[in-house]
Structure 1
Amino acid sequence: MRDLVYPPVIAFMKGAFRALDLRITLQGAEHIPSTGGAVLASNHVSYLDFIFCGFAAQPAKRLVRFMAKQEVFAHKISGPLMRGMHHIPVDRDAGLASYKAALAALKAGEVVGVFPEATISTSFVPKEFKNGAVRMAAAAGVPLVPMALWGTQRMWTKGRKRTLTKRHLPVTLLVGEPLLPGRRDDHVAVNAELRARITDLVDKLQREYPDKPAGADDMWWLPAHLGGSAPGPTLATGGD
């Protein structure tokens, strides 16, 4: 698969990171395999998460093919870029085709990126997971790599204005040890384990994050269980 679009986009984004002097910390990148197929599964708190999840695969020199909703591919600007980077469109009314496309990519040795919540969590706590990531990894016989990110919600998330020029912002990324689901495994149980692992990774990042809210008006990006003003998980709305 020729990649004429992806490398220039990565170079552009790295330049933007440097211009903003983002404080990006990445741990556990060694868990992303340097060859062969893999499913990279992450929590979802921001519209920019796919950029930073892809960044986590850079030490392994991998390009991640993300599954994203069809509407992104229909946009006149993002659509050509998404297709040029060989990301995988998801039509929620016809999910079998996107599942087959992702499975083919995995069997061809690609890393496929998935947000199992299928939507941004406005509580900033992992929501219930769809089991597609587990089913794909099991069917393709590839590792299922959990990861978490934190801080991206401060740049652009659901229900908040974009703040894409904020300098020196910490963004933390943590990749966990892979799971190896098999075809005969209980996918519900494996999915529960995946969610538990990602929740643990998110909790670690939240508690070790180097910034604190600047005041009462800045509490929105912190989850309720840590004293923030984000809505609790049962009140948070879905849809991104």
Structure 2
Amino acid sequence: MDLTYPVIVAAAKTWFRLSAMDIHMSGTEHIPTSGGALVAVNHVSYVDYLMGGYPAAQRGRYTRFMAKKEIFDVPVGGPFMRSFGHLEVDREAGAASMRTAVDALRGGEIVGIFPEATISQSFLIKELKSGAVRIAAEADVPLIPIVVWGTQRILAKGRKIDLSRHHRIDIEVGEPMRPTGEDPAAETAELKTRMEQMLERCILAAPESERPAGAWWLPQQYGGSAPTIEEAAAAYKEERRLRAEAKAAKKRR
């Protein structure tokens, strides 16, 4: 029985209302009202779990997101995540994590995955991991792309939270794919193309006043000043190097 999820969904809707959040959502009819489905969500902020699960919530469903093991290892975060039925992903045990997702899907759940694996600091669609199409194929369920836009202005990586009112958020739910798993690379490329097209529609749907020249939350190709995909990748590589050094130093101590 879900005890935590309904409370959080109700709290989120209250937040949306009190903050006069300007949410534009389309394609929710692609979320099935019963049976398993895998939703693949882009990742631009720390609130994408909330927005990525909103379409399913509007259809009376809860999304069980796949999340890295480290979150479940935190004393407070772990029990909280498990109370939602989210799925633990151990990047060093990919097969087991994939099996957990497949079992949940075959059990009729909606499972959420971030196929970029990490937050995109360029705010564009990064290279996707093939896990999404392989999981959907093995579980024999639809793979549904979801793109969220505008969440980075609330809580982006490396920036302070902004809870001001009237944030515009765009959410597009795309048509389902039915991966076969015969060519995961090609099917992943197709998923990426679809998500890129959806993202562009979301970006351009906002009025020009929401896309000021040089805005940090806009990709450079749309007139903003966000890092390019290459610059963001280099920054992430350096971040991982520093994190590994810090972890090694802690072990030595």
Q: TM-score range by the shorter chain?
A: over 0.9
What is the DSSP-based 3-state SS (H/G/I as helix, E as strand, rest coil) of the residue aligned with 1:236?
helix
Aligned residue pairs, count: 235
2:123 alignment partner in structure 1: 124
After superposition, what is the alpha-carbon deviation per residue over 1:84-132, rounded to whole angstroms, capped at 9, x for unaligned?
Answer: 0110011112222221111110000001101100001100110000011
CA–CA distance in structure 1, aligned partners of residues 55 and 71 of structure 2: 22
- Residue 100 of structure 2 aligns with an amino acid whose one-letter code is A
2:220 alignment partner in structure 1: 224
CA–CA distance in structure 2, aligned partners of residues 33 and 22 of structure 1: 26
Deviating above 4 A after TM superposition, structure 1's stretches of 4 or more consecutive aligned residues are 213-216
Matches within 5 A, 1:45-64: 45-64=44-63
Task: Measure how far apart 1:17 and its partner are.
Answer: 1.5
CA–CA distance in structure 2, aligned partners of residues 26 and 104 of structure 1: 29
Percent sequence identity over matched residues?
Answer: 46
CA–CA distance in structure 2, aligned partners of residues 187 and 227 of structure 1: 34
After superposition, what is the alpha-carbon deviation per residue over 1:166-206, rounded to whole angstroms, capped at 9, x for unaligned?
Answer: 101000100110001124x3111111000000110001101
In the alignment, is residue 157 of structure 1 matched against residue 156 of structure 2? yes
What is the DSSP-based 3-state SS (H/G/I as helix, E as strand, rest coil) of the residue aligned with 2:146?
strand
CA–CA distance in structure 2, aligned partners of residues 76 and 14 of structure 1: 27
2:170 alignment partner in structure 1: 172
- Residue 223 of structure 2 aligns with an amino acid whose one-letter code is G
Cα distance 1:214–1:195, how it changes in 2: closer, same or farther (>3 A)? closer
CA–CA distance in structure 2, aligned partners of residues 146 and 215 of structure 1: 29
- Residue 188 of structure 1 aligns with an amino acid whose one-letter code is A
Task: Measure how far apart 1:215 and its partner are.
Answer: 6.8
- Residue 158 of structure 1 aligns with an amino acid whose one-letter code is K
Matches within 5 A, 1:3-42: 3-42=2-41
2:244 alignment partner in structure 1: none
Query: What is the TM-score normalised by the length of structure 2?
Result: 0.89
What is the DSSP-based 3-state SS (H/G/I as helix, E as strand, rest coil) of the residue aligned with 2:104?
helix
Q: 5+ residue gaps in structure 2?
A: 241-253
Give the counterpart of 2:179 among 169, 178, 181. Answer: 181
**Who wins on radius of gyration, i.e. which is larger?**
2
RMSD after superposition? 1.6
Task: Measure how far apart 1:159 and its partner are.
Answer: 1.6
- Residue 194 of structure 1 aligns with an amino acid whose one-letter code is L
- Higher mean alpha-carbon deviation, 36-45 vs 93-102, is at 93-102
More helix by share: 2
CA–CA distance in structure 2, aligned partners of residues 70 and 139 of structure 1: 22
Matches within 5 A, 1:79-158: 79-158=78-157
